[in-house]
Structure 1
Amino acid sequence: MEKSEASAIDIAESGRERKGKAALLGAAKNARAARHKRGVAIFDLILRISAAAAALAATITMGTAEETLPFFTQFFQFQASYDDLPTSTFFVIAMSIVTGYLVLSVPFSIVCIARPGARGPRLLLILCDTLTVTLATSAAASSAAIVYLAHNGNSSANWLAICQQFTDFCQRISGAVVASFITVALLIFLVLLSALALRKH
């Protein structure tokens, strides 16, 4: 009788030990998952700030692109400015919106760092990031086409290349387009990162 009671106590104690070990393993696994999500959120914040800086650089560079060539007298001059081209005007407006959004999204990214398990902010970010990628891509692609024509022209349409004359202007708009494509690449990576973070939930 005493042996059966002792064995029952041993079995109960071993069961409690197994449950305790399982609880400890579960807690360790949850802690690792939380650290992983927090690391993803920190990387998201760094990429978001970098994308905002690239978008701001593209906006300022395009918005200040202007060059004047004197011809005989100061009263008769050739001038090139970004607002002469509707595509460049759209570029400045679109990249300004992208910059503003990225700056406003930083607090939500910080919330994801403080609360790595929060699903709502991450869903909002991935939705808005996807829309922003579309806007930034359309601005970058349309301006890239204009920059190509400025550098090479189009003999079929009798469009002359202007970059041989307006070298500074072309360098600035080309730099703006490069910065905008960097922004697009970072935004795509942000969308993929958010999708990965949601998948880990």
Structure 2
Amino acid sequence: MMKSSDSTVISVKETNTDTKAKAAAKGAPIVATSKVIKHEKRGWKRGVAIFDFILRIVAIAAALAAATVMGTTDQTLPFVTQFFQFKASYDDLPAFTFFVVANAIVTAYLVLSLPFSIIGIVRPQIVGARLLLLIFDTVMIAVSSAASAAAASIVYLAHNGNSTANWIAICQQFNDFCQRISGAVVVSFVAAVILMLLVVISALVLRKH
């Protein structure tokens, strides 16, 4: 006598809940990675913004020093004649007066730009403040470069003169005067170079957006 036994196969279908759980598990690392990338970008932009702020402080010191040194430069020779007193002052030459005014404008602008630079540190994702700085930094480059170049040409004439135009070199007599105006021009060029670096930094930050 033989007995037969029936076998029953039960199929279990995968529920929607399990599918969603697996999909969520697979997608979790991607979300985490994107958050890390965003955090790294913000950290890089914040570091650049801090460097921008430091450069602005240095540029303020350079432009202010250039304006102050040039604006307080004059020298009177110890000997006089009956009709002449030998004196050299910065305001005797319009190029030096323009130099002082231009560097004063650059200094004032850089001071006013510091709050916008701080905004770039606190909120590095903001584009408007960085774009505004880029535009005005470019304008200040033109102002600073023009003033420095005009003053540099006069300094060259003071040191070397021009025999064709019968302009004599005065630096042998007014040595202190020439040293001060030469130093002011050099410092002003330093401020102009820093402004160029600030424009490059702003352009790089905007390019990353």
TM-score grouping bracket, smaller chain normalisation? over 0.9
1:197 aligns with 2:202: no
1:65 aligns with 2:73: yes
Residue of 77, 80, 89 corresponding to 1:81 = 89
1:128 aligns with 2:136: yes
Helix, strand or coil at the partner of 1:79 = strand
Q: 2:111 maps to what in 1? A: 103
Residue of 151, 157, 163 corresponding to 1:143 = 151
Could you tell me how far 1:17 is from its partner in structure 2?
1.6
Q: 1:187 maps to what in 2? A: 195
Q: Which amino acid aligns with 1:180?
A: S
1:167 aligns with 2:172: no
Unaligned runs of 5+ in 2: 1-10
Q: 2:49 maps to what in 1? A: 41
Q: Give, in whole Å, the separation in 2 of the partners of 1:73 and 1:14.
A: 100
Could you tell me how far 1:77 is from its partner in structure 2?
2.0
Could you tell me how far 1:11 is from its partner in structure 2?
4.6
Q: Give, in whole Å, the separation in 2 of the partners of 1:74 and 1:178.
A: 37
Residue of 171, 178, 181 corresponding to 2:186 = 178
Kept after mapping to 1: 8 A contact 2:80/2:86: no
- 1:76-109 per-position Cα deviation (integer Å, ceiling 9, x unaligned): 4200000000000000000000000001100110
Q: Give, in whole Å, the separation in 1 of the partners of 2:64 and 2:193.
A: 15
Q: 2:99 maps to what in 1? A: 91
Q: 1:29 maps to what in 2? A: 37
TM-score after normalising by structure 2: 0.91
**Structure having the higher Rg:** 2
Q: Give, in whole Å, the separation in 1 of the partners of 2:81 and 2:26.
A: 93
Q: 2:166 maps to what in 1? A: 158
Residue of 26, 45, 51 corresponding to 1:18 = 26
Q: Give, in whole Å, the separation in 1 of the partners of 2:24 and 2:170.
A: 81
Q: Which amino acid aligns with 2:137?
A: D
Q: Give, in whole Å, the separation in 2 of the partners of 1:9 and 1:188.
A: 59
Unaligned runs of 5+ in 1: none
Helix, strand or coil at the partner of 2:168 = coil
Q: Give, in whole Å, the separation in 2 of the partners of 1:180 and 1:5.
A: 75
- 1:92-151 per-position Cα deviation (integer Å, ceiling 9, x unaligned): 000000000001100110011010000110010000000000000000001000000000
Could you tell me how far 1:72 is from its partner in structure 2?
4.5
Identity %: 57
What is the aligned length? Answer: 199
